[in-house]
Amino acid sequence: IDAITRPSALAELAALAVCLGLAWGIVRLARRHRPSGILFGERGFDGVLFPLLMLGLTLLARWLLAPQLPLAMLKLAVPILASLAIIRVVVRVLHVAFPTSLLVRALERTVSWLVWIGLVLWLTDLLPLALAEMDAIKWHIAGSAVSLRSLVEGALSAMVVLVLMLWLSASIESRLMAADRVNLSVRKMMANATRALLLLVGLLLAL
Instruction: Measure the CA–CA gap between 87 and 115, rounded to whole angstroms.
Output: 7
Instruction: Say yes or no to pLDDT of 12 above 80.
Output: yes
Q: Kindly report, residue by residue over 87-115, the tens digit of the pLDDT.
A: 888 888 877 777 777 777 777 888 888 88
pTM, to two decimals: 0.76
**Cβ distance 64 to 18 under 8 Å?**
no
Confidence of residue 144 (pLDDT cuts 50, 70, 90): confident
Strand 144-147 and strand 138-141: the pairing is antiparallel
Q: What is the pLDDT of residue 5?
A: 78
Q: Which residue has the higher pLDDT, 144 or 50?
A: 50
Q: Say if residue 45's pLDDT is above 70.
A: no
- Residue 205's pLDDT is what? 81
- Binning the chain into helix, strand and coil, the percentages to the nearest 5 are 75, 5, 25
pLDDT at 17: 92
